[in-house]
Structures are given as structure tokens and as C-alpha cells.
Amino acid sequence: MNFLDYAPAPESTSILNLKKSYGLFIDGEFVKGHGKPFLSISPSSEEAIAEIANANSTDVDAAVAAARKAYDRTWSKLSGADRGKYLFRIARLVQERARELAVAESLDNGKPIKEARDVDVPLVAAWFFYYAGWADKLDYAGLGPNPRPLGVAAQVIPWNFPLLMLAWKIAPALAAGNTVVIKPAETTPLSALIFAEILQQAELPAGVVNIITGAGDTGHALVNHSDVNKVAFTGSTAVGRAIAKSVAGTGKKLTLELGGKAANIVFDDAPIDQAVEGIVNGIFFNQGHVCCAGSRLLVQENVHDEVVDRLKARLATLRLGDPLDKNTDIGAINSQVQLDRVRELSDIGEAEGAERWSAPCVIPEKGFWFAPTIFTNVSTSSRIARDEIFGPVLAVLTFRTPAEAIAKANNTQYGLSAGIWSDKGSKILAVADQLRAGVIWANTFNRFDPASPFGGYKESGYGREGGRHGLAAYLKGASW
Amino acid sequence: MNATPSATNGPAVNGAAVNGAARRGSALAPAERALDIIGGDLTEKSLRLHLEGLAGVDAVGLEERAASLGTRSIKTTSKAWALDTIIRLIDLTTLEGADTPGKVRSLVAKAVNPDAADPTTPRVAAVCVYGDMVPSAIEALGPWHGDPDDGRISVAAVATAFPSGRASLAVKLADTADAVEAGADEIDMVIDRGAFLAGNYGLVFDQIVAVKEVCRRGDGSFAHLKVILETGELNTYDNVRRASWLAILAGGDFIKTSTGKVTPAATLPVTLLMLEVVRDWHRLTGERIGVKPAGGIRASKDAIKYLVTVAETVGEEWLQPHLFRFGASSLLNDVLLQRQKLTTGRYSGPDYVTID
């Protein structure tokens, strides 16, 4: 036998206790939506998981009204210590139900269970624990004495890290004393609905968090609702720009976390084996569905061939397939729409003269899949070097000197993240100092911690999530 | 299968007495691999430039990669294969001051017949003993003595003033020669860590070359040479990478993590790093070098992580006795318990496997 054809090791779905259909979570209860319900499907099998309610503007009104009532009557009157208790309770329940949440996330999103289990869900718990600690210490956050919450926060989140993005939004909002109406992405509502059950279990006062499902129309109605005080959006730059326009002049506070086209810079003195791992983790983690993915590899010309050879050898060992198998490294692309976009941009890359190489993976018959792909011989003007692909596709470019690396890394309309690989600490600091991106990783990539602020320059958005900075987005008087 | 170093005793033996500074420009023993890779101008300086020119190792990244390989889930048929393979790759070891011919006979009996209740159990690769116990081991093995690739059992002897290596080169060579003469198939030597840490790479190199030469038997064949780096004393991953290259360049057939007498002994990150060196050597020359983690691997679960790391780093063809070994004693019984559990569906207990 071939040892490397590891026997199947599927995580059981028996831990899930799914309903056939889910309503909207408004004022502490599941209620029917007034729009036409839709199905959430598993991207690895294209099979339906559950029927999901669709919130129309009436439902949005009800959700915002519930949040307003909860803010006025309950949540704004609680002490910080009491808000913290609820957040700690939620964090512990997330840990208790971690396996269930991880399975749901993998099933609904298509991401490998090992990532949902080892990255997404532990970070979700960490985020709630972290902000639970802040709830009674807002006076010491450096935002002035007795900072006040904003009121009702409207939050719209993407499909790439459904539960983690929910935690990034809800935890600081509640810690700061706001109430929330949140809309998960239409392709990945499942974990948010299980999270609603956790909120019931935690006996969070009704209306403090409302979860409404739906597509773009629902999100549009929510962010444009006249009674919300704060809009927080994570998603594409195009939608973010539209939201910024519609919110302008309304007095609503806005944070946007949008796209990226991060440079991952590998110098010739890099720890080469770890750099190769970092490149893989930078762009193939979560199938490249990561806004801060290291999608542009900038490698010093004198080590280009060696790095690319080693990278190809490493990519050939990646396992693509059933996301629920514990040995799967690369899961499914989240939707047909996204798969089409990845294919289209990859074809454009090839047409523009770049050299395409894909890992030799067996692609399953059903579901949405794209083999890990790298493009070499990419020019800086090529679309695959400029546009966010949001898939497992890496564009490899070269540079000769640190100055050229910095110039090329900054030559993008985005500025969310960047990576630097070198064994020389002074070089890392000097280069990091000149990169215009919100997060710079040195000799690592895609590492997240609730204590560290995260956010973008330029078209990657504004405002910061995480850390003390993340509180400022939900308090009056703070600078954003 | 290995390059034959045409070493002379000259520079190696004399080298031991000369300090590093004076040796800097001096020529090293002309080991064939080093000549091929570094070039004809083989000196302390050229060796140093080569070793210090190797890419650095990022400790955090290396440990993360090892941890992620450790999360592979090896189940059912894969697990059964893995357990049998672990047994086939074990160097069953006793290295005590209290070792006696009786203890060695008992160890050999266990090596030949690991699970008395299940004759389908594979045999281990080798028994590993001190040099003076080699005759006892060979006698006890009788017809089972032979090449583990043919299902027989080799005799490995630790030598060169194991475990510290703190003796003159003459003593180390005599120690090795004794074991080879007594019929040891494999020699597990230690490097001079003191010399390595003092920066005398050439001294370490020359000693390995000299020991390799002493591994030559009368008929021209060689006892297999495993070079123990004692990674717990080298302390940094950069040192481990350099020492691994040094040992291979000097002619080692295997690079081995530890003596088992120093903590930490084998760890997964260190073994991963040594496998990466072996992979790079294979890419460079086409030649396959063995790796032996030793000491501290006691549970089947941990040993399976090593198999995964081997297979995903250098390829599963390395999972053969002449390319990968576990230096272990208590690991065998844990594997047997797991093996019994796969057959019966129940866990038994320590009294259902034999002590050696």
C-alpha cells in the first residue's frame, strides 16, 4: 500500500443537530422571514444543508427595532462587569460546542475541518474572551474617561471566515455597550445560526444580538436603515465603496475591511524551508479565500528558481478533497460564482503570458474545486498581479534590491497586509517601516491574535478591528 | 552503496592535537563527497564557508511545521501498516552500564519474537548495544543475524567513547575497530560536540572520516556508519543543520539525533530539520542518506508522527530499514499493545506484552 494515501479519516457530522429550516434570530427568538427562503448548500457536494429564511425590509425594521429596544432598556444600563460576564459565558459556550461549530463551518463553507477546528473556532473563543476582559475597563482604553457606546450597530460579514468574522464584529460591539444586527453571507449562514442558539443558551438579553439572513438586498436595507448608528462591513471593495457613499452624511460611524493583494517578500537570506511553508500558508490557507492572503510573491531574483522549485515540490504534497476529512489541506471553493471568477482571472493570467502551473490534484466530480496554482513570469501590469483573485492562485514576481521590493509591494491600490522573509532582523525592520499595509508579518503569515489590530490602507478600507483599537470603532469620541 | 572515502590517517590523527586557529588553512581528509561538493581545495576554511553559507532555520516556523505534520489522522488500514512499519524500523536498544550477556540475550529474544502471542508480528531492524556486547548479540541472534532489508536483524554498536565522545582519536578508533572486528554491522558514533561548538568543524570532519575508514572490513565492505549529532547539546537548529551537512559530507550513512543520554533527545522538529537536509542532499547528488531519531520516543502515537514527517518530507521510500530507524527501547511494547488493540478491538495492558 501507499502510506501517503492515508486511509479516510472523516470527522463525523453526527454531532450536528441541524434543523430543516432556519428562521431569523430577532429579539431572542427564531421567527419567520418575509422574503423568499433560500437553500444553503455544501460547496464540496452541492447538496442542500438547510433552508434559510430571507429577511426583507420589514424584517430588517423588526431587527433594528429589537436592537434599539434592547439598547435603551437593557444593555446600555448594564455595568461593564455584567456585560463582560455575558461575553465570558459566550466564549466558554463556544469552546464547549467547538467541535459542532467546526463541523458546521467546514460543511457550509467548504474549508478543511483541520482549519475550522484549529484556527477558526479557537480564535472565535479567543476574541470573545479578549473583549470580555475589556468590557469593564473601557476607562483605561486610552479613549478618554467614561467612553460611551454608539447605539445600534449594523454589521455585514463575508463568507470566508463566517464565524470568525462574526466574532470580530460582535465581541467588541457588545463589550463597548452597543447592540447588534448582523447579517452573515448568504452562502454561509449556518454557523451564525448555531451561534444564535449559543446566545439563547447564554441567556443573553433578547434583542442585544439579532442575526438576519439574506443576500445583498438584506444587507443594503440594513446598512441604510435610518435607526442604526454604526455600520461595519467586511467584504469586497466594490460593495464597501457603495456603502461608504450611502452612509456619507448620515452621521453613522463606518468601518470597512475590504480587499487586498498582499506582497509576500522573500529575500535571498530567508530561512528557505520556512519561507516555502509561509508562502503556502499565505496563499493556500482557506483556499486563498483570505482578504489578507499573500497573493503576490515577491522573490529576490537570485533565489527565484530555487524557491519556485521547492514551492512546486511542496504543493505537490497538498491534499485536496473532502473538507471533513481530517487530513485534507485544501477544501472546496465556496461557490460556483467564486469558482467562475478564479477561473476567469487565471485564464486572463495565462492569456497575458504568465506561465501557469497547478498542483497535480485529483479533482472530485461534484462540488466546486480549484487546484493550487502558481503563475511565474508575471509582470507587474498583469491583471493577476493587480486584481484580488480571492482563490488559491499565486502570482510570482521578482525583485533585485530591497528598494525595488518595497516599491513593488506598495504599488497596489490595496494595503491590507504584507510579509517579509529574511534571517536578518535589521532588514526586516527597515523594510516593514516603509511598507504601506495594515499588518506586516515577519517570517510568518496569516497569524491572528485578538490583541493585535487589523485593518487596511488605501482601498483595503479604514478602521481597525482587534485590540484596543477595535474598541474605538464602537465608542463615541474616538477617532474613527 | 556509499562513496568510499580514501582517507588517510595522517591529517585526522594529527589534527586532534592541534587547536582550531592553527588549523584554519590546513587541508582536511579528502572525503569523496566533500571533494565533489566543496571542491578540491578542501580546507578548514572552505568547509566553514560552506557550512556557514547554508540557509538559516527559523525556529518558530520549523516547530509549527512539525506540529502541523503531527495533526495527521492515521486510521484503520493506514494505522495497521504504520504500526508494523514502526516495528520493522526499530533499533531495539540497551545501553546500560549494567548490561550483561544475559540481558543482551533477552533483548535479542524480544527482537526476534516481539509478540509471543502473535507470530505475524514483524521483527525489529537491529539490536543496539555497547561494543563489548557485540559477540553476545551475534551469538544470541544465530541464524536471525543479517540484513534487516531481508527480514533479518543487524547488530549495531555504539562506539567512539559513547556517549560523551571525550577521548583521544586513537581511543575512538580503537573502540570502533574492536566493534567492527567483533562483527558489528553498524557503528553508531558520536561527534565531538565540544570541537563543533568551538568552531573546529574540520576536526569533527576529520574524525568522522577516520572512523569511517576504520569501519572498513577486511573484505573491503563497510560497517554502516551512523553519526550521532547529540542535537540536545548543539542546542540551536542552525547548528543541527550544519552538523547534519558536516556528517554527510564526511561520509556518514545515517545521521542520528541523540545518544539518549542527554535531554532533550529526539524531537519532531529536529528530526524534520535533519530530513530536510537529507532531502536537499538527495536533490543535489541523487544519494540517499538515512535518519535515526533516538531517545524519548515511547508512544506509538508519537512514532506515527515521525512516519508522517518522513513520508511528507523525503518520501515514503525512506520508510525502509536502510534509510530510517527509531532508536528506542520502550516504544516496541507500546506499538505491540496498539497492534493487539487493532486485532481484538480492546486495550489489554502491560502484562500482555513481554519485558526484555
- Residue of A1, A114, A272, A273 to mutate, testing the B interface (most B Cβ within 10 Å of its Cβ): A273
The rounded distance, in Å, linking the Cα atoms of B24 and A278 is 38
Split at pLDDT 50, 70, 90, the class of B3 is very low
A303, A306, A309, A312: CA torsion to nearest 10: -50
- Do the chains contact at B55 and A270, CB–CB below 8 Å? yes
Q: Which ranges of A55-189 would DSSP assign to H, the alpha helix? A: 57-73, 80-96, 98-109, 113-115, 121-134, 162-175
CB atoms within 10 A of CB B284: 10
Amino acid letter at A52?
Answer: I
Would an 8 Å CB–CB cutoff place A12 in contact with chain B? Answer: no
Question: Which of B62, B71, B78 comes nearest A6 by C-beta?
Answer: B78
pLDDT of residue A480: 47
CB atoms within 10 A of CB A451: 10
Instruction: Return d(Cα A240, Cα A247) in angstroms, integer.
Output: 10
Question: Where on the phi/psi map is residue B212: left (φ > 0), alpha (ψ -120 to 50), or beta?
Answer: alpha
Query: Is B58 in Cβ contact with A274 (below 8 Å)?
Result: yes
Decide if pLDDT at B17 tops 80. Answer: no
Distance set, CA A378 to CA A281, A298, A394 (Å): 21, 10, 10
User: Is the CB of residue A451 less than 8 Å from the CB of residue A466?
Assistant: yes
Rounded to whole angstroms, the maximal C-alpha distance in chain B is 65
Strand, helix or coil at A39? strand
C-alpha cell at B247: 556528517
Nearest to A317 among B73, B276, B312 (CB): B312
- What one-letter code names the amino acid at A339? L
Chain A, window 91-110: residues with a beta carbon less than 8 angstroms from a chain B beta carbon: none
Contact assignment for B57 to A273 by CB distance below 8 Å? yes
Grid coordinates standing for A122?
A: 479557537
3-class state of residue B45 by DSSP: helix
Q: Per-residue pLDDT tens, chain A, 480 aa: give them.
A: 799 999 999 999 999 999 999 999 999 999 999 999 999 999 999 999 999 999 999 999 999 999 999 999 999 999 999 999 999 999 999 999 999 999 999 999 999 999 999 999 999 999 999 999 999 999 999 888 889 999 999 999 999 999 999 999 999 999 999 999 999 999 999 999 999 999 999 999 999 999 999 999 999 999 999 999 999 999 999 999 999 999 999 999 999 999 999 999 999 999 999 999 999 999 999 999 999 999 999 999 999 999 999 999 999 999 999 999 999 999 999 999 999 999 999 999 999 999 999 999 999 999 999 999 999 999 999 999 999 999 999 999 999 999 999 999 999 999 999 999 999 999 999 999 999 999 999 999 999 999 999 999 999 999 999 999 999 999 997 654
Report the DSSP beta bridge partners of residue B249: none
A221 Cβ neighbours under 8 A, 6+ residues apart: A55, A56, A57, A60
Q: What is the CA radius of gyration of chain B?
A: 20
Q: With left for phi above 0 and alpha for psi between -120 and 50, is residue B296 left, alpha or beta?
A: left
Task: Give me the pLDDT at residue B5, please.
Answer: 42
Considering B91, B115, B175, B188, which one is annotated as catalytic?
B188
CA distance B51 to B34: 11
Q: What's the pLDDT band for B32 if we cut at 50, 70, 90?
A: very high
How buried is residue A5: exposed, middle or buried, by Cβ count under 10 Å (0-12/13-18/19+)? exposed
Question: If pLDDT is split at 50, 70 and 90, which confidence band does B27 have?
Answer: confident
What is the DSSP annotation of A400-438? SSHHHHHHHHH-SS--SEEEEE-S-HHHHHHHHHH---S
Amino acid at B199: G
Does the CB of A319 have a partner CB in chain B at under 8 Å? Answer: no
Residue among B133, B99, B102, B127 nearest B113 (CA): B127
Does the beta carbon of B53 lie under 8 angstroms from any beta carbon of chain A? no
What nine digits make up the cell of B272? 524534520
Closest partner residue to A326 (CB to CB) among B57, B73, B311 is: B73
Give which of A377, A375, A316 is closest to A342, Cα–Cα: A375
Q: Is B212 a catalytic residue?
A: no
C-alpha distance from residue A456 to each of A219, A292, A429, A463 (Å): 22, 9, 19, 8
- Tell me how close the Cα of A268 comes to any Cα of chain B, in angstroms: 9
Residues 425-454 of A with CB under 8 A from B: 443-444
Main-chain phi, psi angles of B69, to 5 degrees: -65, -30
Chains A, B: CB pairs < 8 Å = 73
CA–CA separation, A212 and A181 (whole Å): 7
Residue B76 at interface with chain A, using a CB cutoff of 8 Å: yes
Residues of A in contact with B64 (CB under 8 A): 277
Residue B162's closest CA among B137, B131, B203?
A: B131
- Cα-Cα end-to-end distance for chain A: 60
Phi, psi of A186 (to 5 degrees): -70, -20
Residues in A closer than 8 angstroms to B81, CB to CB, are 1, 3
In this structure, how many other beta carbons lie within 10 angstroms of the beta carbon of residue B343?
11
Most A-contacting residue of B65, B73, B245 (CB-CB within 10 A), to test interface: B73
Is the separation of the CB atoms in B161 and B175 below 8 Å?
yes
Distance from CA of A328 to the nearest CA of B (A): 9
Asked whether the predicted pLDDT for residue B12 surpasses 50, the reply is no
Give the pLDDT confidence score for residue A90 in this predicted structure: 98
pLDDT at B14: 41
Hey, is the C-beta of B74 within 8 angstroms of any chain A C-beta?
yes
Q: Which residue of A has its CA nearest to B83?
A: A3
Return the pLDDT at A478.
61
Give CA–CA dist A373/A351, Å, rounded: 15
Cis peptide bond N-terminal to B264, omega within 30: yes
B84 at A interface, C-beta within 8 A: no
Q: Which residues of B touch A114 (CB under 8 A)?
A: 71
How many Cα atoms within 13 Å fall on the side-chain side of residue A426? 0
Cα atoms found within 13 Å of the Cα of residue A238, Cβ hemisphere only: 3
Nearest residue in B to A280, CA atom: B65
**Beta sheet of B290-292, edge-to-edge order:** B290-292, B254-256, B224-228, B186-190, B154-159, B126-130, B90-93, B326-328
Shortest distance, CA B72 to any CA of chain A (angstroms): 6
Does B305 lie at the interface with A, CB-CB under 8 angstroms?
no
Mark B3-21 as b/e (b = at least 16 C-beta within 10 Å).
eebebebebbbebbeeebe
* Nearest Cα to Cα of residue B299 among B272, B325, B330: B330
- Name chain B contacts of A9, Cβ cutoff 8 Å: 73-75
Cβ of A270 and B319 within 8 Å? no
The answer to whether residue B66 scores a pLDDT higher than 80 is yes
Query: Is the per-residue pLDDT at B10 higher than 60?
Result: no
Residues B133-186 have pLDDT tens digits of: 999 999 999 999 999 999 999 999 999 999 999 999 999 999 999 999 999 999
Q: What b/e sequence results for B133-143 when a residue is b if at least 16 CB atoms lie within 10 Å of its CB, and e otherwise?
A: bbebbbebbee
pLDDT digits 0-9 by tens, B258-288: 999 999 999 999 999 999 999 999 999 999 9
Helix axis angle, B237-249 to B268-285, nearest 10°: 40
pLDDT score of A333: 98
Q: Provide the pLDDT for residue B23.
A: 59
For B321-346, how does the pLDDT look when each residue is reduced to its tens digit (9 = 90+)? 999 999 999 999 999 999 999 999 99
Q: Which of B52, B58, B65, B77 best tests the A interface by mutation, with the highest count of A CBs <10 A?
A: B58
Predicted local confidence at residue B356, as pLDDT: 82
- Is B81 within 8 Å of chain A by CB? yes
pLDDT of B21 > 60? The answer is no
pLDDT of residue B299 exceeding 50, the answer is yes
Q: pLDDT band for B25, please (50, 70, 90 cuts).
A: low
d(CA B316, CA B308): 9
Residue whose entry in the numeric block shows the C-alpha cell 557503528:
B187
